[in-house]
Amino acid sequence: MSGDSHGGGGDWTGPADVLSHTQLLTQGERAAQALSRLGVRPGEAVAVQLPMCLESVVATMACIQVGATRITLAPSGPVETIRARLNESGARVVVTANCCVLDGRIFPAKAALDRALTGCPDVHTVLVVPQLARPVPWTPGRDLWWHEALAAGSLPPRPYPGRVSSNENRSPEERRPEPGPAGIVFDDPLDGRSADDSDHGWGEPPAEEGGSGGLLRFLEEKPPHHL
């Protein structure tokens, strides 16, 4: 482990408290591209050692898009346990926080992870999520700031396992979800018609019944509500 230390994370302005739906999907796409640039392939493991935060959700979305397996590590877990978990999973990329608040006190998550990594030769990259503006031990060539990795370069857009669309200026037929064996549809379900929906209301005769169809159904209704 290098004796170097970094400060608060470059141009980082603080953790995000709220992300819109579009922003969340964009962050997931950028994180997936960052993992791909780091050599993560489908079926491989990515270790995530984060407290409850938006970056943890984004990391999960990125793993789904890449096809990688997320391995969750407790931020304050024992060094021996973390080391064994990393070696068993074969994870080469770890996402961690520089530090976080646990039980009302600041816990140096990155420093604790570095102690575990002394026995994990397969790990070649550590993505550090700045949670608090505190100095953090740093190993040049291995450690990268999370937000800088997401902002660096881009790959051709990968197909998202679902689709995001705007319903503005679209006809009702265009708003109907497209069939497919897999994926998530984010359209508003109220914008389309269900499979059993029809334009016939009560008392309106179907075409085959003629003009007396509504009256016939009314008279034959059981129980006879009209009595």
Q: What one-character DSSP code corresponds to residue 178?
A: P
10: left (phi over 0), alpha (psi -120 to 50) or beta: left
The pLDDT tens digits for 46-80 are 999 999 999 999 999 999 999 999 999 998 889 99
Q: H or E segment at 95?
A: strand 93-97
Predicted local confidence at residue 118, as pLDDT: 94
Query: To 10 degrees, the CA torsion angle through 97, 101, 102, 107?
Result: 60
Q: pLDDT band at residue 162, thresholds of 50, 70 and 90?
A: very low
Domains of the chain: 4-160 (3.40.50.980), 197-227 (no CATH)
Q: pLDDT band at residue 4, thresholds of 50, 70 and 90?
A: low
Least confident residue range of 117-126, 156-165, 181-190: 156-165
**What's the CA gap between 29 and 26, in Å, rounded?**
5
Whether the pLDDT of residue 180 is over 50: the answer is no
The more confident residue out of 101 and 201 is: 101
3-state secondary structure of 100: strand
Contacts for 219 with CB less than 8 Å, ≥ 6 apart: 226
Q: 0.95 exceeded by the pTM?
A: no
Mean local confidence (pLDDT), 183-207: 56
